[in-house]
Copies of this chain bind each other. A is one copy, B any other.
């Protein structure tokens, strides 16, 4: 990992023992750096909690950080609509924080209730980078992108059924966004969006320049 970045464990397909052992080694080798683990199931989360009482755990999102987080520079704002997409949004938020950005998370602003979204426009404008998470038709990034000129990373999720095809519908929608300047990650890839957004935010001048 680059200076200041956390060490990272991708938990999918790993046993709780493997996760705990990896975290232990990373903490020992890099005591001054946080370790981030994503995609943990309930057993792995329990094992981490038992072994590292100081760990910061996002239960529903299956994400943990252990060790000192870097100082926060810049601001990432993570936006999502429903409880189903929250898991991915939180993965993005925790990741962005662990990679050195300040983070604000706004949930429950969806395209079908446009007024709640208009009400948070100021918060969106204050961010250095936005992460917008949506499943099903994946329309949220287009609407947010029309409201603000802040760099916007769209994350499609696999939430949906039938012709959602595991998130393909949302992915294609986001790639075709009519709002200029929307970029996209893999389906459910909150981690990648968090890394990218943190890199953007922590380089940003606090005044945002003349945008």
Mask, A1-17, CB within 8 Å of B = 1, is: 01111001000110000
* Known contacts A178-B111, A205-B204; A168 and B172 CB within 8 A of each other: yes
A209 on interface, CB distance cutoff 8 Å: yes
Contact (Cβ within 8 A) B175 A173: no
Q: Which of A25-33, A50-58, A189-197 contacts B (4 or more CB under 8 A)?
A: A189-197
A124 on interface, CB distance cutoff 8 Å: no
A42 on interface, CB distance cutoff 8 Å: no
A132 to chain B, nearest CB (A): 12
Contact of A192 among B139, B158, B183, B196 (CB under 8 A): B183
Set of chain B residues within 8 Å of A160, measured between Cβ atoms: 176
A199 on interface, CB distance cutoff 8 Å: yes
Contact (Cβ within 8 A) A13 B185: no
What class of interface size applies to chain A in its complex with B? Answer: 35 or more
Contact (Cβ within 8 A) A188 B210: no
Contact of A181 among B13, B180, B181, B195 (CB under 8 A): B195
Contact (Cβ within 8 A) A158 B162: yes
A174 on interface, CB distance cutoff 8 Å: yes
Binding site for B on A (CB under 8 A): 2-5, 8, 12-13, 73-74, 81-82, 84, 110-114, 118, 128-129, 136-139, 142-143, 145-147, 149-153, 156, 158, 160-189, 191-193, 195-196, 199-200, 202-205, 208-211
A/B interface sample: 12 pairs, CB < 8 A: A2-B211, A3-B210, A12-B161, A73-B209, A111-B146, A139-B177, A150-B199, A161-B186, A164-B172, A170-B176, A181-B195, A203-B203
